[in-house]
A and B are shown apart, each in its own frame.
Chain A
Amino acid sequence: ETGVTQTPRHLVMGMTNKKSLKCEQHLGHNAMYWYKQSAKKPLELMFVYNFKEQTENNSVPSRFSPECPNSSHLFLHLHTLQPEDSALYLCASSQLTGRTEAFFGQGTRLTVV
C-alpha cells in the first residue's frame, strides 16, 4: 500500500460510453500525475498537476479530460474512446521539493470495446 488509491481497478467500456477514473492520495503531496502504460511501450506521461494547476499536457487527445479539484484528488474523464486507448492507467503523486520520489497507485486496467 503506497498511499495512492485508484478506482476502479478494472473497467470495460464501449466507445460511446462516458466514464471516469479516480485517484486519491493522503500523503500530503502537492503534485499528481496520470500515466498511460500500454503493452510493449514505455510509460507515457499524460498530465501533470502542481498545486491543483495543470502544468503539463503531453499532446493528449481531448477525449481524455483531467480534473484536479484539490491536491488530494485527481480524475480522468473518458468519453468516445478508441480501442487503442485500452491500457493500464497509472496515477502517481509526489512532493515538488524535498523527497521527490513518486508514489503510484495500483492502476486501472481499461479495455475499450
Chain B
Amino acid sequence: AQTVTQSQPEMSVQEAETVTLSCTYDTSESDYYLFWYKQPPSRQMILVIRQEAYKQQNATENRFSVNFQKAAKSFSLKISDSQLGDAAMYFCAYRDRTGANSKLTFGKGITLSVRP
C-alpha cells in the first residue's frame, strides 16, 4: 500500500522569504502522480502543483516549485516570496497513474503560518 509522510506538523516563514515543506512517500509503482494541495481556513482544498513521476523536470507554478527526487521518494514544495495569503494547511498527496486505482492518498498535512 502507498503511504505519504509529512513529518513536520507546523512551519513558520517571514513574509517575502522562502520556505520548503517536506514530503516523503512509499510505493512499489514506477508511474504515478504527486500533488501538493492547500487548505486555507475557508476549508476549500485547492491544488497547488502536480508532478508526474515519469517527468524528470521539477514542476513549477509561479512562486511554487517542487524538488522531486524519485530514487529517494521525496517530494518537497518550495514557496518563494511568501505572502500572507499562503498561510494554510498544505497536504502532499499520491495517486497511481493507472486508472484502476484512482484514489488519492494524503499525508497528515503541515500548518504553515506567515509572519508579517
Residues of A within 8 A of B102 (CB): 31, 48, 50, 55, 94, 96, 100
A56 close to B35 (CB less than 8 A): no
**Other contacts beyond A50-B102, A56-B103, A104-B45: 11, CB < 8 A:** A33-B104, A42-B106, A42-B107, A42-B108, A43-B91, A45-B105, A55-B102, A101-B35, A102-B47, A103-B47, A104-B37
Among B43, B102, B105, B106, max chain A CB count under 10 A is at B102
A43-B91, A45-B104, A101-B35 known; A90-B45 Cβ under 8 A: yes
Residues of A within 8 A of B108 (CB): 41-42
A45 close to B103 (CB less than 8 A): yes
The residue on A at minimum CB distance from B49 is: A101
A2 at the interface (CB under 8 A from B): yes
Residues of A within 8 A of B45 (CB): 90, 92, 104
A33 close to B46 (CB less than 8 A): no
Residues of A within 8 A of B37 (CB): 104
A107 at the interface (CB under 8 A from B): yes
In whole angstroms, how far apart are the Cα atoms of A96 and B108 in the complex? Answer: 24
A59 at the interface (CB under 8 A from B): no
Q: Mark B52-91, 1 if CB is under 8 A from A, else 0.
A: 0000000000000000000000000000000000000001
**A to B CB contacts below 8 Å, 7 in the list:** A2-B46, A42-B108, A43-B109, A92-B104, A96-B102, A101-B50, A106-B43
In whole angstroms, how far apart are the Cα atoms of A55 and B99 in the complex? Answer: 12
Selected from A41, A42, A96, A106, the residue in CB contact (under 8 A) with B42 is A106
Least Cβ distance of A64 to chain B in Å?
A: 17
Least Cβ distance of B5 to chain A in Å?
A: 10
A88 at the interface (CB under 8 A from B): yes
Residues of A within 8 A of B30 (CB): none
In whole angstroms, how far apart are the Cα atoms of A31 and B102 in the complex? Answer: 8
A101-B47, A104-B45 known; A42-B35 Cβ under 8 A: no
B91 close to A100 (CB less than 8 A): no
Residues of B within 8 A of A103 (CB): 47
A107 close to B50 (CB less than 8 A): no
In whole angstroms, how far apart are the Cα atoms of A92 and B44 in the complex? Answer: 11
